[in-house]
Amino acid sequence: MKRGAHDHPKMLRLARTLGITRGLAVMRIELLLHWMEKYAVQGDLGRFDDADIAAAAEWPTDGDEPRRFVEALVSCRWVDISDEHRLIFHGWSKHCDRYVHIKLVRKSLLFADGTIPNRAGVSKKERERDGLDLFLDEAEQERKAAIEGVQQPLIPEEPACAHNVRTVGALSPPPPPPHPQDQERDPDARARARGFGPGEETTAPAELGEGERALIRAWAINHAGSLVPELVQLEQLCLAYWRPKKKSSDWVSEVQAFVLRIQRERASPPRGSRPPADVRAVSREKRDRAELDSERRKKQLEEWQREKAEDPPEFLRKAARHRPAVISLDAWVDRQVASA
């Protein structure tokens, strides 16, 4: 938690609302923040139900306690209500640690409230290699376009004329372009971006666009990291394979499924294949060593039994010097053989 948040009025208000001390309120928020850094890195706290949120902060989960705890967080402005995510932690991009920004940048994700993560924690070489700068630049452009569209004046600055006067609500600002994450959740959005209607199937194009390739690359970093250098070749193979055979409205998903199939084929060995030669040699060596140890112990046991039968007094005197009196002679012989 950032410096100064312990004495923040919101913290004091939360303590009064829940009927606990300020120290306990600080502990609840600290526990919730550490839990979110692992399970809700985007700040979309509404993915989980009220009982999970209360359990993360070690608040009682019986009866109406989870609902009371979440309502206290909302009323004290620690959590905001969202139509898309149900609940969003207020100012999560400011409260979280630096490595949360790094994780979101490497996964090509934004915060739940639309805030763009700080790319300073990821090296420029890594961003250029994985195409992360392209995703972040597009997100910044979309955010600026949305802000400019909202702030656009409804009444023009030209002299008022009958043909150019706008009434409030007559023209709405153009909607912002679809976000790559929304396209990933909505397959028809990718079809509309390429000029097709929802659900309209087409043959495989000659190649995918830059935005679609950036989307596939961001997905492959998390799901098929070993195949990232070969994405262009795999994309061409997939399109060439399906072009004469089928039609689809979502060729990004087709390429992703093709990449996953190639990854599974390379990871799994062919059926009936033998282990490598070095593995077989190690197994053979272990088996031979075990057989030699067994023969050596068997011979030593026979030698002890022969000495016992030939000269029992001498054998008993030797055994009495080297064995405790609490075990039998046969048990001592077996122990000597096993330890040899």
228 in a domain, yes or no?
yes
Q: 90-99, 188-197, 243-252 — which is least confidently predicted?
A: 188-197
Q: Give the gyration radius of the chain's Cα atoms.
A: 35
Which residue, 101, 121, 141, sits at the end of a domain? 121
95 in a domain, yes or no?
yes
320 in a domain, yes or no?
yes
196 in a domain, yes or no?
no
Predicted pLDDT of residue 97: 86
* Same-domain check for residues 314 and 234: no
3-state secondary structure 277-301: HHHHHHHHHHHHHHHHHHHHHHHHH
Predicted pLDDT of residue 88: 92
* Alpha-carbon span 41 to 39, nearest angstrom: 6
131 in a domain, yes or no?
no
One-character DSSP codes across 132-201? HHHHHHHHHHHHHHHHHHHSS-SS-SSPP-TTTPPPTTSSPPPPPPPPHHHHHH-HHHHHHHTT--TT--
* Same-domain check for residues 103 and 37: yes
Which residue, 121, 140, 155, sits at the end of a domain? 121
Specify the higher pLDDT residue, 4 or 288: 288
**Alpha-carbon distance values, 15 to 22, 59, 301, 318 (Å):** 5, 13, 77, 80
| Helices 210-223/251-267 angle, 10° precision | 30
Angle at 314 between CA 308 and CA 320, to 5 degrees: 90
Can you read off the two tokens belonging to residue 137?
């630049």
% of residues, the chain, pLDDT over 70: 69
* Same-domain check for residues 19 and 71: yes
* Alpha-carbon span 196 to 190, nearest angstrom: 9
14 in a domain, yes or no?
yes
* Same-domain check for residues 32 and 111: yes
Token pair 């499924």 is found at 257
Predicted pLDDT of residue 287: 84
Q: 162-176, 190-204, 305-319 — which is least confidently predicted?
A: 162-176
Which residue, 214, 239, 267, sits at the end of a domain? 267
257 in a domain, yes or no?
yes
Q: Are the beta carbons of 235 and 207 closer than 8 angstroms?
A: yes
Dihedral angle sign, alpha carbons of residues 99, 102, 108, 112:
positive
Burial label, 262 (beta-carbon count in 10 A; 0-12, 13-18, 19+) = middle
* Alpha-carbon span 55 to 61, nearest angstrom: 6
* Same-domain check for residues 239 and 303: no
Q: Are the beta carbons of 136 and 107 closer than 8 angstroms?
A: no
* Same-domain check for residues 225 and 329: no
Predicted confidence (pLDDT) per residue in 42-100, tens digit: 999 998 999 999 999 999 999 999 999 999 999 999 999 988 889 999 989 888 888 89
Q: 40-49, 98-107, 156-165, 270-279 — which is least confidently predicted?
A: 156-165
Element (H, E) at 127: helix 124-130
Specify the higher pLDDT residue, 82 or 310: 82
Predicted pLDDT of residue 29: 92
CB-side neighbour CA atoms (13 Å) of 151: 6
* Same-domain check for residues 250 and 297: no
pLDDT at 173 over 70: no
* Same-domain check for residues 246 and 318: no
Domain that holds residue 228: 204-267
Element (H, E) at 80: strand 79-82
174 in a domain, yes or no?
no
pLDDT at 192 over 70: no
Predicted confidence (pLDDT) per residue in 208-224, tens digit: 888 788 888 888 888 88
pLDDT at 114 over 90: no
* Same-domain check for residues 231 and 335: no
* Same-domain check for residues 231 and 329: no
Instruction: Estimate to the nearest angstrom the gap between the alpha carbon of 213 and the chain centroid.
Output: 21
* Same-domain check for residues 13 and 117: yes
* Alpha-carbon span 276 to 285, nearest angstrom: 15
Instruction: Estimate to the nearest angstrom the gap between the alpha carbon of 172 and the chain centroid.
Output: 39
Is the overall model pTM greater than 0.75, yes or no?
A: no
Predicted pLDDT of residue 240: 86
Mean pLDDT of 262-282: 67
Q: If you average pLDDT over every residue of the chain, what do you get?
A: 77
* Same-domain check for residues 258 and 296: no
* Alpha-carbon span 242 to 205, nearest angstrom: 10
Predicted pLDDT of residue 280: 64
As for how many domains the chain has, the answer is: 3
